[in-house]
Chain A
């Protein structure tokens, strides 16, 4: 009887601990996998995703009406400067930390002319002359630019505009 209670107690505690560890670790693992896929072209560099099609497999539930550009950032050595060009209609620059939280977002209504963001580690000093400074809760993460492009014409316009996007480590 005593042995059975001990067995059950151990099993329940192990199950609860493993359950909680999986739930809390899952977003970080999903982000790590996404950063590996999306950052294949290198970190702190913009990569323009092709138009979303039925065979797009980089991220779950892709939106076929939006054109995506992405920068996997790493603040290990220096702050990172991200520039987003404006685009006709809706566009946004959203920043995600290692835990998958969308900790900042800017769009065509807040910055109709586009914007330049200097991303720094939490508590770190911004480089001199930096304009808009945002603290990232984690060292690595993803900057995602979305542009509305549901039709051929809007796709061509958004595709031309996004060539002005950039993502680079700040000079020390």
Chain B
């Protein structure tokens, strides 16, 4: 039986072809949407993870007087976020019984630590066999200067209370950590080697060092 129309076309095969084309377009459209969603999702996932690891707040750490540290850093019991953050900001950290690390990037008022400001860091001797305080640039490395004043430690401070000036110029007297060419924000890191067991048991009982702003270049002080 002839099913062609007056122009020699078969109407049923034409509609089947149209349906096939529609189906094909729908599939292609769906696949395209799926791929776009997949790529966008992957970008969001990788981006958010890298931001959290490199720039985000410390994860699961103890906060003491504005200093943040993680008792689990370096250990097998660390959760994946702590492990990733430590890998980015302090790879090869020791486990807590050997050393604990506290960092802070703001003064006592909460303002970011800036290269153009001078700070006074003071407190009682941290509860550890040995400790040191170091300033780091935003790239997580030491400030690029030749002032020979990269850190301050228990060897120089002794067993009692300590006070050290942190800034771009050497003070007339007293201890100094140079932040010249550090950039902003600066991070101060306190390393406590062989911390007292009481600190590990109850970090919040510790009176952490205080960071006071002495002056800033913009103040004209």
| A residues with CB within 8 A of B | 3, 6-8, 10-24, 26-27, 30-31, 34, 52-57, 59-65, 89-90, 92, 94, 96, 99-103, 105, 107, 109, 137, 142, 144, 148, 150-151, 154
- Please encode chain B, from 117 to 152, with 1 for each CB lying within 8 Å of some chain A CB and 0 for all others: 000000000000110101010001111111000110
Contacts of B97 in A (CB 8 A): 105
Q: Give chain A residues whose Cβ lies under 8 Å from the Cβ of B84.
A: 23-24, 26-27
In angstroms, Cα B130 to Cα A52, docked, is 18
In contact, B91 and A16 (Cβ under 8 angstroms): no
Supposing A26-B49, A107-B98 touch, asked if A61 and B38 sit within 8 A by C-beta, the answer is: no
Chain B residues with a Cβ closer than 8 Å to the other chain, count = 60
> Do A22 and B50 touch across chains, with their CB atoms under 8 A apart?
yes
Give bound CA distance, A3 to B39, whole Å: 17
When C-beta atoms are compared, the residue in chain B nearest to A107 turns out to be: B98
Q: How far is the CA of A142 from the CA of B94 in the complex (A)?
A: 12
B151 touching A54, Cβ below 8 Å: no
Complex Cα–Cα for A144 and B92 (A): 8
Whole-angstrom distance between the alpha carbons of A56 and B136 in the complex? 12
Write the residues of chain B forming the contact surface with A, with a CB cutoff of 8 angstroms. Answer: 30, 33-34, 36-46, 48-50, 52-53, 74-76, 78, 80-81, 83-84, 86-95, 97-98, 129-130, 132, 134, 136, 140-146, 150-151, 153, 155-156, 189, 191, 193-194
Please list 24 pairs of residues, one from A and one from B, whose beta carbons are closer than 8 Å in the complex, sorted by A's number: A3-B33, A7-B36, A11-B38, A14-B41, A14-B44, A15-B44, A17-B41, A18-B44, A19-B46, A20-B49, A22-B45, A22-B49, A23-B84, A27-B83, A56-B141, A60-B88, A61-B89, A61-B134, A61-B189, A65-B151, A100-B92, A101-B75, A102-B93, A142-B92
